[in-house]
A and B are shown apart, each in its own frame.
Chain A
Amino acid sequence: MRGFNVLLQKEFKEAWRSWKFLWIPLVFALLGMSDPLTNYYMMDILNAVGNVPEGFEMLMPELMPVDLLQASIGQFQTIGLLVMMATFVGVISKERASGMATLLYVRPISFGAYFMSKFIVMSTVSFVSIFAGFAASVYYTSILYGTLEIGSLLVSFCTYYIWLLFVIAVTLMMSASFKTIIATTCAFTVIFVGQIVDMIVGLFWTISPWKLANYGTLLVRGTMEMSDYWWSLTITIALTILCICIGIIMMKRNAAMAKI
């Protein structure tokens, strides 16, 4: 892991100076607060927008705090992931294509150190982002609907974070393996098509990384079958490590693609 500290500092500096530590958490905070607020003020919003026929009545379901947490996680799973993956998918391939990586690759650094420095910084940005998202969601939920039990909330947060680490590992692996366009296509296919497949035919299996986000809310509800949870968690962590290993190998193998 030669050069790890220096590369880590460089990556943190980049994330800080490109405002990633500000705008990505802001996006997640907005996503987190949108469901509790829109659901609570739905009637007011509809009245304010107008065009509601006279005598119109709408039966609003009685939402529990955990329903709103689930809705917020649903937002993170679509727009949140889209933003995060689009931001991070070029971190290796673009540096290689522009030639910025050349001046690093010719130095006696380890590719493992370079890959891990990127992974750690992306994980930190993701941590801050989902923390902001969860905090905003829980804050408005507890004000408007009622409180959530802190222990299960923390477990749900950690479970979602582990899913995000898997997403980051897949994104980085693709970035290390292919040019940006192909990497984007492949990463989005794996994550989003995986989600769609799991949504459509996922009833036939209970162990999968793509189920982890949903399992987080089931934990809060207290309806989780724990063996499925632990197996899914273990497989997700194992796949994350595998993606990291493949990513490092591909980064080294594709170093020759760096523009001179």
Chain B
Amino acid sequence: MGIYHSIYKYIRIDCVLYSGEKAVMTTILQVTGLTKQFAEHKAVDDVHFILEEKTSTALIGPNGAGKTTTLSMLTGLLKPTAGSVKMLNGDLRTNIGFLPQYPQFYPWLSALEFTEMAARLNGVTAKNAKLEAQKTLEFVGLGNAQHKKIATFSGGMKQRLGISQAIVHKPKLLLLDEPVSALDPVGRREVLDLLKGLQQETTILYSTHILNDAEEMTDQLLFLQNGKLVEQGTLREVRQRFDEQNYVVEFSNEQEAKLFASSSEQVIGCYVYIEIVNEEPTMKELLQRLSGCPYTIRKVERQTASLEEIFMKVAKKA
């Protein structure tokens, strides 16, 4: 019973992954041949990608990979040397919200004044701006601090305020540059939870080098290295390309594991590692094989590499 429970748990996860992919997608942003050259150095080199509506995309890469330069070009702060950024349903500047890595605010303004100003600058009427700002500050958890001067805010509060100023006008596309890398674990968790809440509302493109975050809230991955987009796709697609997956079966002792394993399967201690190649053997085949097994099976797991391991492989390949 325990074995089946374990196996079905993994089958269920797989099904959720498949059905979780949205059936009908609308492209919101098209980036074509984006290039930025600084003197001799090519910071971003011929990057192409599209963003689908209400998806979350992680721009991953080591420091200096070109993530911030890419985001700067998407915001319009930096002019590309070549290539184009096209928002398919409207003007880019009016439809984006942007949070820099270290957002800086006017310390003499209150959180409400700043968010209200952000809303009005994005075209929200003066009448609605205050109301929207209050609602947004409540959403990011700064409702009680809305009248406090920003000068008194902690790093976590500033990051929340940064999110609030980026979403107050309900942008179609939210661009976030390393949204949690400067925060302590508690602040990081709070901001990640906030962003997960936003995933249903808007399209998110965020850069990060913290791969756990990307693994947690990502529909699409863009791997940047030395300015080049070296890999892209959904988490599942990238996993399929780079992941060596195994079923791991744990027996009560090493001898039983050796007796169970075929010649092509690796045995380490009481564990048998059955490699999955092109989804073979399937879970059903493994279950059939296990049901005829006379030994004590303690655990069955489908083992997948972490995003960090995949990232290292991608980096090595590039």
Chain A interfacial positions (CB closer than 8 Å to B): 3, 6-7, 9-10, 13-14, 17-18, 98-100, 102-109, 255-256, 258-260
Contacts and interface: CB of A to CB of B under 8 A. Distances in A.
B93 interface: yes
Given A13-B109, A104-B121, A260 B101 contact: yes
25 contacts: A3-B120, A6-B117, A13-B108, A13-B113, A14-B106, A18-B108, A98-B104, A99-B100, A99-B104, A100-B105, A103-B103, A106-B98, A107-B121, A107-B122, A108-B91, A108-B93, A108-B94, A108-B122, A255-B77, A256-B79, A258-B77, A259-B104, A260-B68, A260-B71, A260-B101
Contact of A103 (B93, B123, B165): B165
Contacts of B121: 3, 6-7, 104, 107-109
Contacts of A103: 98, 100, 103-105, 118, 165
Given A99-B103, A107-B118, A14 B77 contact: no
A149 B296 CA distance: 111
A106 B96 contact: yes
A98 B106 CA distance: 10
B132 interface: no
Contacts of B268: none
A260 B118 CA distance: 17
B75 interface: yes
Contacts of B105: 100, 103
Of listed A17, A18, A99, A106, residue having the most chain B CB within 10 A: A106
B197 interface: no
Contacts of A17: 108
B102 to A, nearest CB: 6
Nearest to B93: A108
A162 B38 CA distance: 42
Given A260-B68, A260-B77, A260-B101, A106 B108 contact: no
Contacts, number: 72
Contacts of B113: 13
B177 interface: yes
Contacts of B123: 108
B64 interface: no
A63 B213 CA distance: 77
Contact of B104 (A6, A102, A106, A256): A102
Interface residues of B, number: 31
Interface in B128-162: none
Q: Which of A10, A103, A255 counts the most B-chain CB atoms under 10 A from its CB?
A: A103
Given A100-B105, A259-B104, 8 more contacts: A3-B121, A102-B98, A103-B105, A103-B118, A108-B93, A256-B79, A260-B72, A260-B177
A171 to B, nearest CB: 21
Contacts of A258: 77
A3 B119 CA distance: 11
Interface in B80-112: 91, 93-94, 96, 98, 100-106, 108-109
A256 B77 contact: yes
Contacts of B165: 103
Contacts of B106: 10, 14, 100
Interface in B190-238: none
B76 interface: yes
Interface string B51-79: 00000000000000000100110011111
A104 B96 CA distance: 12
Contacts of A99: 100, 102-104
A109 B119 CA distance: 12
Contacts of B93: 106-108
A16 to B, nearest CB: 9
B117 A10 contact: yes
B118 A102 contact: no
A102 B102 CA distance: 10
